[in-house]
A and B are shown apart, each in its own frame.
Chain A
Amino acid sequence: MVSENGDVKNDNKTFTDDEAALYDRQIRLWGVDAQKRINSSKILIIGMGGVGAEVAKNIILGGVKSVTLLDADDVSELDNVCQFLAPRESIGQNRAEASKGRAQQLNPMVEVTADGASIDDKPDSFFTSFSIIIATNCTKTQIMRLNKVTRENDIKFLISDVFGFFGFIFLDLGEHRYKTEVVNMAAKKGDVNVIDGLSRYISFLDAISIDWNLEEFAARAKKTRPGLFGLFVLLEFFEQKKRKPLPSSRDEDLAELLKLRDEFIEKNGIAKDRIPDDFFETVFGELGPSSAITGGVLAQEVVKAVSQKDAPLVNIFLCNPLTGTGYVENLVD
């Protein structure tokens, strides 16, 4: 049984032969205890775009207790190029509802629920019944509200999205304790020691409020690869337009992005070459391959967060497979 904040109270679960056969290959990776915790976790996925569909697939296959798909948007033509859960003929229907059927087929042992409401219409109490909340397709305002609820209720919170080829994951797991195995070099070969770990996180608000003019950050701003600041610009675009940059309005959106970029670097005293123009060339719509990559990493972080096994990423993952990068920025330490 899982308490409100996802702690596993009952360790005596045994797996049926069916479950043992189905989850065999992953139990061999992360062990039975991790699988137990996964099996009792309740996940909320907000936004059923490409990355939402990918993470839903991965964690439903992984065998969580329940997954709630929450999305007020309708299926559009753009979903067909990144989202495989909503059937092609469902354009115009609610995206969560349209995705539910195929999501459920992935694993009949997981309770899959679709909810077509907007997060803005949901009371805070709605969110507190989940072990993990994954937010995609959200504005900064929405993210900050959710993050406040997750911090107050000790819920693991992951924010993610894909803009064209560019993808990101922001993690706020609060004070996250985990166990990890370390090979004991001194002992007999193959022996492992289990050690306790602790990862600390900062809130989304703290991360986006960093003043890069400050001495402690300025040196870092000079070394940072384009992804981090590019992400801040893209999030600001989403905040203002309530949507991603789109291929159909490519020219005006690109101009807007460059304007926001200029404002950001001006305000933070950052050199222009930290976010070159060409960063924004491939950020339109949401592309399938990047959704698969970001959704894959996101699912692994969800598994680490619920299973409390192995160190999760701290605290931002950034990826553009076209330039061949997938790396982590740590704004906590």
Chain B
Amino acid sequence: MASDVKGLLPADLGQLVNECNVLVVGAGGIGCELLKNLVVFGLKNVHIIDLDTIEVSNLNRQFLFRREHVGRPKSIVAKESALLFNPKVCITAYHDSITESKFDVNFYKQFNVVLNALDNRTARSHVNRMCLAAKIPLVESGTAGYKGNVSFHMQGISECYDCTTKPHQKTFPGCTIRNTPSEPIHCIVWAKHLFNQLFGISDPDEDVSPDSSDPEAVGDAGKIALEESNDTNGQVKEKVSTRQWAQSHEYDAQKLFQKLFHDDIKYLLSMENLWQKRKPPTPLDWNDLPDVIAGSSSIDQQTVTALKDQRVWSMQECSQVFKQSINQLKEKLENEKDLIWDKDDDPAMDFVTACSNVRAHVFGIQQKSRFDTKSMAGNIIPAIASTNAIVAGLIVTMACKVLKKDYYKCNTIFVMPRPTAVKKDLFPLDQIVGPNPKCYVCAEKPEIIVKMDLEKMTVRILGDKVLKTELCMIAPDVEIDDGQGTILISSEEGETDDIADKLLKNFIKDGTRLKCDDFLQNYQINITVAAMVDEEDEKDREKSGILFEIIGDRTQLNAKEQVAEGKKTDDQEQPSTSKKANPVHDDEDDLMIIEPTTVSEVQVAGTKRRLDETEEDTPSKKRKVESETSEVIDID
């Protein structure tokens, strides 16, 4: 161990390294490199926690794992492999979720520093709150492709993880997804929604059928068309769920195809206003499928691609895969109540590829290969061993500074794909920024305003989408500040189930204050409800399907309204956290990197795609949150 070799480390550091106890959260890409560095460097006590099991696509960088380990828990195998490097260290491994209640404030207090090697915002936020509550320093990290960063968070000294707005995954207006897709991603999102509607837990936000309430189509023939088709060819009535319809037709692939890509498209065509300035879609007939690829001049199907999955399928092939995958999924559904979409589940991935491609063809949008569809649908962030190794090395050196209490030397470090323009820094540093006094987490009395559609939002949506997804609470309790202590949401299972699906307007109104509390996170926040009522809001919301919007404080709310009055902007930048979005679970080892101002002009031309363009939608594991409350968050 480094600490055992006299003269290798400065004496004070050597002793600290020998005596410290650290927690590593995550045994994925960064976690594997970090654990290796820590045991080789000679930290005597390391705890490591991870919920996941090992997959083949991990093996190109998570080098503590090998083929024979696939399927085993990451934390346990990581411990076994790392002990070979240094049998003298004491490693405690937990195959568990970090958000479990047993990892309470007292658990955190045993550590000198917590090192995050996570892959999703909810878990990062949670550990941030636990470290704030336990007053333990936190080193946060992330990588995406060639980029990475390492930052330090400590109460009273630097900003907390939640002090800055985190980039949100891109969401699309419901009407674009349901009625007027124009890009491949719109079709892919639609196909994933369709999967959930047909086989999984359907979400009212994820409807896939034509939306006749589209403001663009108002006063149109649409409604008539709806009534007509209901009578004639089994057009889904609004009250019949897509799944019920499919069940009643025994998941017959041909009938489903006909409904989705012929009847529904014909119905869309009847909403003529939509197509005045757009290219109208072309309905497809199962029995007369073109053998071409949309959006491509080449119809050479025999082109050899280096990867099998990179070949774009013809409509014929899509329909075959559509049929085959539906049969496989239907079979699965016999043993499971609901299926969870997973990019690594072949039938699920095949289904989304086939459906999105057929829809793309219908709308004359460029088709995508299974390989590219998987990137977009699975929100895959490319990952390589070397960036993780660099970041893990930087984490250890930052941890050394933290142990020495040199907190003011713990500047945020960025790893760049190329040196900065002027100083030629490959690892530029950022200033240490103090806590944000208006932070919705680490401020003394966190307060936010949430605009809500009380007419459409249920208590459950408030809990799931606002408190859990947006505010990253794990088990919230909500009390209405009405002097009577009325409980709206309880973290105790079953306690408020009876009102969960009731509309918010039954309980709260504009101006109501909600006292929200997560006991485990030792986190309280007051929410002031601002009802979405006026006409302006109504139109906006219809356009993009927003049920709520989080506003930092009253001054920001006012500022926003002024802007909205003066000039309508599509994409108003939100203070604090923002509108409707599903939890950002970034696949792999990543983090959204906020580049330092000094290097922002050095744009990364080499990367294939921008992160914010590809992150989309709820991945499988969020479903777990709802179905098995014992396993809340997954950790890469």
Contact = CB atoms under 8 A, between A and B. Distances in A.
A204 B1 CA distance: 34
B380 A25 contact: yes
A285 B613 CA distance: 45
**Which has the most chain A C-beta neighbours within 10 Å: B1, B37, B67, B613?**
B37
A289 B40 CA distance: 9
A29 interface: yes
B309 interface: yes
A26 B384 contact: yes
Given A21-B57, A285-B5, A327 B427 contact: yes
B59 interface: yes
Contacts of A288: 2, 37, 40-41, 393, 396
A117 interface: no
Given A62-B60, A190-B609, A247-B7, A27 B386 contact: no
Contacts of A308: none
Contact of B424 (A54, A282, A284, A327): A327
B397 A15 contact: no
Contacts of B10: 281-282
Interface stretch (B130-138, B274-282, B600-608): B600-608
Interface string B384-416: 111111101110110011000000010101010
Interface string A276-290: 000001101101111
A289 B397 contact: yes
Given A81-B42, A296-B387, A247 B5 contact: yes
B84 interface: yes
Contacts of B559: none
Contacts of A284: 7-8
Contacts of B172: none
B409 to A, nearest CB: 7
Nearest to B391: A296
Contacts of B5: 77-78, 81, 247, 285
A14 B40 contact: no
Contacts of B427: 319, 324-327
Contacts of B621: none
Given A14-B304, A58-B389, A25 B397 contact: no
Nearest to A251: B7
A78 B613 CA distance: 47
Given A25-B588, A299-B385, A325 B41 contact: no
Interface residues of B, number: 76
Nearest to A54: B389
A149 interface: no
Contacts of A319: 426-427
B60 to A, nearest CB: 6
Contact of A299 (B1, B66, B309, B386): B386
Contacts of B6: 247-248
A20 B310 CA distance: 11
B608 A31 contact: yes
Interface stretch (A1-9, A64-72, A133-141, A178-186): A178-186
Nearest to A105: B66
A285 B400 contact: no
A80 B409 contact: no
B218 interface: no
Contacts of B240: none
Contacts of B608: 28-29, 31, 181, 192
A80 B86 contact: yes
Contacts of B66: 105
A125 interface: no
Contacts of B9: 287
Interface in B568-615: 588, 603, 605-610, 613
Contact of B418 (A282, A311, A325): A311
**Which has the most chain B C-beta neighbours within 10 Å: A33, A61, A83?**
A61
Contacts of B33: 292
Contacts of A36: 306
A209 to B, nearest CB: 22
B40 A80 contact: yes
A18 B388 CA distance: 23
Contact of B393 (A183, A293, A328): A293
A300 interface: yes
Contacts of A246: 7
Nearest to A299: B386
A244 to B, nearest CB: 12
Interface in B301-322: 304-310
24 contacts: A13-B306, A21-B56, A26-B61, A32-B305, A32-B307, A58-B384, A58-B385, A58-B389, A61-B59, A63-B60, A78-B8, A81-B41, A287-B41, A288-B393, A289-B396, A290-B397, A292-B390, A293-B393, A296-B386, A296-B393, A300-B384, A300-B387, A313-B426, A328-B419
The 7 closest A-B pairs by CB, nearest first: A247-B7, A326-B427, A29-B382, A292-B393, A296-B390, A293-B393, A296-B389
